[in-house]
Amino acid sequence: MEPVNAESLVNRFNGSVEEQYGTLAYDTALSTLLAVLLYVLLKVSLDGIRQWRARISVLVVGSGPIGLTAALVAVRTGKVLKLTVLDERYRSALLCRPQQIALDPRSVRFLLNLGVDFDNMEGCWHNEHFFTKIGVFQEYLLSILERKKQKVDVKVRLGTKFSEEYLRKMFREERPRVIIVADGSCGDSCSVLGISADYIVESCRAYGANATIERLDQRQVPTPEIRAHSLYFDLSAYGINTVKEPRNSSQPAVKPGFHLKIYGTFRNRYMALACTSDADSKMMHFLRHTANPSVMKNIFHQSFNAYKTDIEPRLSDVTLHHMQCSRMLFEIMLSHRRVSAAYIEGDHVAVTVEGEAARVLNFDTGCGVNLGMRGLESLGMLIYRTATALDQNDVFEALLAKIQHSKHVAETFRQTGLSSEMFE
């Protein structure tokens, strides 16, 4: 029998222990990894189920074009359990508005994605723009919301004013998680909610004037807009030499250019006259400071007769009293709220302000609805993120993103909006 080597036994023992420890460490690491993977999969699944089942209550204050479109955006998110649309106007006053709106290609694409079928709406197309009456547009959106009642609890309460009393009563019964304020520049819903009324006022670096004509003998039929550019007006009768003298005698004389837009129905015709602040001239200076109210009226009178459609009657001296217009050129300004979204902490409610309630242009170009429509492009994400938020921080981040988008809309329009809507 051979003698046992103690050192060999020790090495064997140590090797066996190391192998056992290695196997144990491997099994432990594998078990930990599997536990982590199982936890992650379970959490992702539970989060997915929670987000899929998440539903909130939404209140829309104002049932104008922006308010009703906002309601449609909310329904399309699939995260709304109950939707309430509120307006102090009754249905007859709401749907009989004679103004015409022009939806640009960007707004048309946005509405198409919401399920709006323009082929089934009264109006007309021109250069990829869609023209219709505000009342027709609102009635169509109301009909869509009526059809959505099968999937979402939709309540349209017309003739009901949003007040502090209504707010207290609503919060006692069932408070909404999101309130969308779209009651226009004259609405007071923001003050009821305690949102600051401070505005940032910025110049669009342009000057303009508006005119309106109401002719009761004409039809309320939507018509494509008419544009005319580089217009020259002879104001020599008022003692104004409108040709700008060149700095260099070798350069030709420069005539100031104005841009004209005629839009609206045949009964309610609107005109917008604008020029950039770069077009400095004696004419523009005179029209900005004239005290003679007949100057602008004569300019609009002549412009309408020169560029109207062939099938509508001319304006004569007898019918001129039907026209109302600006007394002089004024600076075109864009105002937008400093606070366009807020969080009511005690009641855990997210508030966003849309349309004219958030942004107001003091110059009607016939595209006012489009500016508000662009603000709604981020509304769906706000509602989705609010519905699926885990805590207040998630809601705050969603509101911050909405505020940044609102600022971007205002800044972009201030820089390029008039160029695309009037000057091009």
The pair of structure tokens assigned to 85 is 């649309």
Looking at the DSSP bridge assignments, the partners of residue 351 are 179, 342
The average pLDDT across 127-150 equals: 92
Query: pLDDT band at 330, cuts 50/70/90?
Result: very high
What pLDDT sits at residue 18? Answer: 67
Closest CA to 61 of 134, 194, 142, 167: 167
For residue range 22-42, list pLDDT tens digits in order. Answer: 777 777 877 787 787 777 676
Closest CA to 362 of 340, 404, 332, 389: 332
DSSP 246: P
pLDDT at 75 over 80: yes
What pLDDT sits at residue 11? Answer: 60
* Percent of the chain surpassing pLDDT 90: 56
- Mean of per-residue pLDDT scores for the chain: 86
Looking at the DSSP bridge assignments, the partners of residue 241 are none
The average pLDDT across 325-347 equals: 92
Closest CA to 98 of 216, 193, 196, 7: 216
For residue range 338-393, list pLDDT tens digits in order. Answer: 999 999 887 889 999 999 999 999 999 888 788 889 999 999 999 999 999 989 99
Rounded CA separation 281/424 (Å):
21
**269 neighbors 197 (Cβ within 8 angstroms):** no
Rounded CA separation 44/75 (Å):
26
Rounded CA separation 96/87 (Å):
15
For residue range 197-232, list pLDDT tens digits in order. Answer: 899 999 999 999 999 998 888 888 889 999 999 898
Rounded CA separation 126/149 (Å):
34
What pLDDT sits at residue 326? Answer: 95
Residues in the chain, overall count: 424
What pLDDT sits at residue 212? Answer: 94
- The three-class DSSP label of residue 236 is helix
What pLDDT sits at residue 182? Answer: 96
pLDDT at 423 over 90: no
Closest CA to 57 of 77, 30, 28, 31: 77
The average pLDDT across 135-139 equals: 93
Residue type, 392: Q
What's the N-to-C CA distance of the chain in angstroms? 109
List the alpha helices (DSSP H) in 2-103.
6-53, 65-76, 91-95
For residue range 261-286, list pLDDT tens digits in order. Answer: 999 999 999 999 999 887 667 888 89
Rounded CA separation 400/14 (Å):
62
* Percent of the chain surpassing pLDDT 70: 88
Rounded CA separation 271/305 (Å):
12
Taking CA atoms, 37 is separated from 21, 25, 40, 43, 73, in Å, by 24, 18, 5, 10, 37
- The three-class DSSP label of residue 222 is coil
Reported as type and span, the H/E element at residue 379 is: helix 379-387
Closest CA to 399 of 336, 355, 348, 361: 348
Domains of the chain with CATH codes? 56-198+338-423 (3.50.50.60), 201-332 (no CATH)
For residue 209, the tally of other CB atoms under 10 A from its CB is: 23
What pLDDT sits at residue 162? Answer: 92
The pair of structure tokens assigned to 15 is 């090797």
- pTM, entire model: 0.84
What pLDDT sits at residue 81? Answer: 92
What pLDDT sits at residue 238? Answer: 83
Looking at the DSSP bridge assignments, the partners of residue 352 are 180, 341
For residue range 144-201, list pLDDT tens digits in order. Answer: 999 988 888 999 999 999 998 988 888 777 789 999 999 998 899 999 999 988 999 9
Rounded CA separation 59/335 (Å):
25
Query: pLDDT band at 254, cuts 50/70/90?
Result: very low
